[in-house]
Amino acid sequence: MAFHSRSRAVSLVIVAVLAAAVGAYFGWVSLQPDGAGSGGSGGSAGSAGSGSAGPALPPTPAPVTSTATATAAHEPADKQTPPTPAPDKAQEAFDAMTQEERLGQLVMPAVTCGGGAAAESFVAEHHIGSVVFLGDCWSGDAVKAEAARLVAAGGSDLILAVDQEGGQVQRVKGGGVDTIPSGTTQGEMATSDLEAAAQGWGEQLKAVGVNYDLAPVVDTVDLANRNANAPIGALNRDYGLDAAGNAAHAQAFVRGMTAAGVGTSIKHFPGLGRVTGNTDYTTSGIEDDTTTATDATVAAFGQVLEEAPPTGVMVGLATYTQIDPDNPAAFSKAVVTDLLRGQLGWDGLVLSDSLTAQAAVHVAAKDRAVKFIAAGGDIALFGSVSDAQAALDGLVAAVQADPDLAAQADAAALRVLRAKDSLGLLG
């Protein structure tokens, strides 16, 4: 009997302790913010045991989050690690070149009818970056075969250019390459039709290995007698419209060629429409006393540059007395750097008209590329390998003697490489 009494007493003590513990727990729950207790419903249960004594139970610990994860989640967007930039292929190519290889990018010799071997040798020996097909002997098949030999000599990044305006200035005909109407006839086309046609002409050039067309002409002929304008009007090379109309048609031509993957150079900046002499063949009648830096005919070039940017701009060899009375345009800092690059904002490729032309021969061959690069140009074009060789030799010597010219030549080489990259020639 005493044993049973003691057992009953112990049982009562255990029950009391358990009751106190339960009461303490629910009392703690009732003191938590809404939702902190089990299922958010512990408030009423805690009221029943709120007077019970006992220690409060600790809250359930929050899930552990790593410091790195938390930092990344809350780090401001401008402090997060930026994505890896795309490789700058032009800069990489430039950095891998010697100075001699960079200077080889700055001359464009001609490959003439029967002159393939000389051009190929020059390209291979001097790391030449571009070649132009000159002469009226080229069929599509002949160009394709010569282009393959030039690429074998100079590499797959070679610019292979041609004068393919249409009409009397079309170097490649037949062998898969259609005859192109003159510029004046193109000017009668709707711009949408011209763009589509230019794309087709570009695709034909691309198929025979040409990746650059030294066209379109943006010159505005506004002489009363078109035939008096020997380099452009007399040959129907322009679109035959006013400055704005010529710009619109040039844009269509550029867009079409670009769609075909062929580069373009608008020409002949700042315009040959007001001279009477042809700079290729004479030194007389090649001064323009009318055109100014703010002329509508100059603005036409700017309109094309802004609305349908070509790969490059070809600068002519007339002298513009209202802009720079002392130098032909291609040798004029006032024309190339101040007007074209400065006023019109062009930071792309600048090529010269042929520096083998009569308008340039008053300057020694060894100095012609030097004067063009110093004016702000990039690729000096020559109608013969021999002139290109003399010009390159002179440029190498001048760059070695003049750090400022060397810096200009480096900037020009990088622009050439960027143009090549835009054409997909750097891989």
For residue range 319-340, what is the model confidence (pLDDT) as tens digits? Answer: 999 999 999 999 999 999 999 9
CB burial class (10 A; 0-12, 13-18, 19+) of residue 208?
buried
d(CA 258, CA 8): 102
pLDDT at 34: 43
How many Å separate Cα 326 from the centre of its chain? 33
d(CA 90, CA 277): 39
Q: How many beta carbons lie within 10 A of that of residue 226, not counting itself?
A: 17
Residues across the chain: 427
What tokens does 241 get?
A: 């419209």
Tokens 């007698």 — which residue? 225
pLDDT at 84: 75
Q: How many beta carbons lie within 10 A of that of residue 408, not counting itself?
A: 20
Average pLDDT for runs of 10 along the chain of length 427: 40 42 43 40 35 42 44 54 83 97 98 96 98 96 98 97 98 97 98 98 98 98 94 98 98 98 98 98 97 98 98 98 98 98 98 98 97 98 97 98 98 98 96
Q: What are the tens digits of pLDDT across the range 128-147?
A: 999 999 999 999 999 999 99
pTM reported for the whole predicted model: 0.81
pLDDT at 256: 98
How many Å separate Cα 124 from the centre of its chain? 26
